[in-house]
Structure 1
Amino acid sequence: MVELVDATGKTNEAYLKSPEFHEAKSPYCLEREWIATRLAQDLGLPCARVVPVEVTPELVQMASAIYDHTPIKTESGPTLAQRLVSGPKLLIGSVSLGPGWSEWSQAMSVRDVQLEMATGIYFFDTMIQNWDRVIPNPNLLIKNDTYGMIDQEESFVEAAGTDAERAITPKPWKEGGVVNDVGEINEHPLWRGIKLNRKASFDKSVQRWKSLPTTKVLGYANEPVFDEWSRHVANKIIEYLLEAVDNIDAVHMQVEANRCN
């Protein structure tokens, strides 16, 4: 976590993200996180805000002074400062949602007042192939009746994943492509509460997706951050998104079929 100061002097706590910070992290986690967050915001979903953070000499020096003898995740390996130097020169800062939030747990049911947002989050994760928001790793915060979404950097498997990941992660509009409704590892944290509530409807979520202007979606890949990251991968993600919207009714049908099982 770092403290960021914007142009107005306001400070925000944020979590730095880099493909260098975790051994198993996707090399394109920044591209995936950035576009997924922009999309979530345009769909009206409660996603943590992201901002670009430049890796400055001062940041590296601070990391070296504080964490020079603290390897990341493993008992040995590069220090945080070394990973900052070897990684991208522009990172993502995922802005903290603030105090009072707790991680979602299986003891929390989906209440009627939460239902519209819950269906929106579930359908969003299904459409963008975000198989990293699952019961064992919910990446979902809750405060009273409000949800907070974090960590979308493993989304868009078809566009930015490995061949091995694509082999086991079908496009959601293909037959049998919606697979986040079953399994100890694969089930989405909100699915059970949605499935069991007869009032749940995905109609508004589908309409929001259909109402997204194509120019808005295309614009995600044209943002300045991709001067530093991979614009090629960003364009592949956009191609996937446009194809997903074209096939959204097929995704909706599969989700509804899963509710009957």
Structure 2
Amino acid sequence: MVRQPSRTGGRKLLETVTATEFVRVATQGRTGPAILTCEDAAGNPVELFCKVSGGCDAGVSSLARESVGACLAADLGLPIPRPYLVDLSPEFADTVPDDTVRQKLLASSAVGFGSLRVPNQFAVWAKGNQITDTMVPDAAAILVFDAVIQNPDRRDGNPNCLVKGEELRVFDHELAFMTEQLLFWTPPWKLGGLSWVGNPGAHIFASGLKGREIDYDPIKALWSNLSDTRLTEYQTAIPEAWAGSEAAVQAALKLIRDARDNIDGCLNEVRRILT
């Protein structure tokens, strides 16, 4: 499995950067993210996509789900753009020339969620793209991740995935973990719990992985090695500015813990839909 530079490597789970310049509104994205230039603690520039609470359906709870998903993805070795917390001061908001963006910033939490902007050589995953043998480990790990966290937002027409050659980058997990809103929800380790993943177009990698030889042992090992202590760190990484997101965070952590403790069942379900 390809290991991308999203691993924390001893750094804080979610590094905080300070917004310094508004570049433009992103051309894609349901929540209307902005491209910002920021500065890290060492004064280095960081260009990223930033989501703010005022652009999300569930406000700070959406940002918290996004953050928990990013922390989990990094620990699972998935190819995600590096995540950040973004300090959005009122003084910065006042410098934004776009009136709509400025008002959204002023009406949002003072902390946003950022994803490092990847090089322009990456293109959006298209329906006709093929999963090569080299890409199978990452594609399978991503599908298991999305299936377990109940992420419906990596589908045909809205892939939330970039590709360059055989490299992948995946992002956007704010709609994950919302099991309380799913009627007659079945846990992903129970028979039929992941049937939705096998529906046509429901996941960009499902059809391309069907019938392929997949080594699930590395995926199982990474899920099994998630400690309760580490999951608590996901919770403590959530900033105080996102007060009110506690229920969303607890629901996300419960799903992760339960899936970890029942990972064999989750993988059996994935095997079933990919047979």
Tell me, yes or no, if the aligned pair for 2:226 and 2:260 is still in contact at 8 Å: no
Aligned AA (1:120): A
Q: In the aligned structure 1, how far is the partner of 2:117 from the partner of 2:186?
A: 32
- What does residue 180 of structure 1 align with? 197
How far 1:195 moved relative to its partner?
0.9
How far 1:33 moved relative to its partner?
0.6
How far 1:137 moved relative to its partner?
0.6
How far 1:129 moved relative to its partner?
0.8
Which segment drifts farther, 170-179 or 39-48?
170-179
Equivalent positions of 1:1-261 (< 5 A) are 1-21=35-55, 25-27=57-59, 28-63=61-96, 66-68=97-99, 79-158=100-179, 165-167=181-183, 170-178=186-194, 179-184=196-201, 187-197=202-212, 199-223=213-237, 225-226=239-240, 228-229=242-243, 230-260=245-275
Gaps of 5+ in 1: 69-78
Q: Deviations over 1:188-237 (max 9, x none)?
A: 1011111132x223232122101222211122101251453423432232
Q: In the aligned structure 2, how far is the partner of 1:48 from the partner of 1:203?
A: 25
Structure 1 stretches of 4+ with a deviation exceeding 3 A read 226-229
Structure 2 vs 1, CA of residues 228 and 21 (structure 1 numbering), >3 Å: closer, same or farther? closer
- What does residue 32 of structure 2 align with? none
Tell me, yes or no, if the aligned pair for 2:88 and 2:110 is still in contact at 8 Å: yes
Aligned length: 238
Q: Deviations over 1:57-89 (max 9, x none)?
A: 2221122xx211xxxxxxxxxx22222122212
For the residue of structure 1 that corresponds to 2:141, the secondary structure is helix
Which segment drifts farther, 210-219 or 121-130?
210-219
Structure 2 vs 1, CA of residues 224 and 182 (structure 1 numbering), >3 Å: closer, same or farther? closer
How far 1:7 moved relative to its partner?
1.9
For the residue of structure 2 that corresponds to 1:46, the secondary structure is coil
Tell me, yes or no, if the aligned pair for 2:135 and 2:166 is still in contact at 8 Å: yes
Q: In the aligned structure 1, how far is the partner of 2:44 from the partner of 2:185?
A: 41
Could you say which structure has the higher helix fraction?
Answer: 1
TM-score by length of 1: 0.85
Gaps of 5+ in 2: 1-34
For the residue of structure 2 that corresponds to 1:134, the secondary structure is coil
Aligned AA (1:181): G
Q: In the aligned structure 2, how far is the partner of 1:220 from the partner of 1:116?
A: 25
Which segment drifts farther, 11-20 or 231-240?
231-240
TM-score by length of 2: 0.81
Which segment drifts farther, 85-94 or 124-133?
85-94
Q: Percent identity?
A: 27
Aligned AA (1:183): P
Q: In the aligned structure 1, how far is the partner of 2:238 from the partner of 2:159?
A: 30
Structure 2 vs 1, CA of residues 149 and 127 (structure 1 numbering), >3 Å: closer, same or farther? same
How far 1:168 moved relative to its partner?
6.3
Q: In the aligned structure 1, how far is the partner of 2:119 from the partner of 2:208?
A: 26
Aligned AA (1:106): K
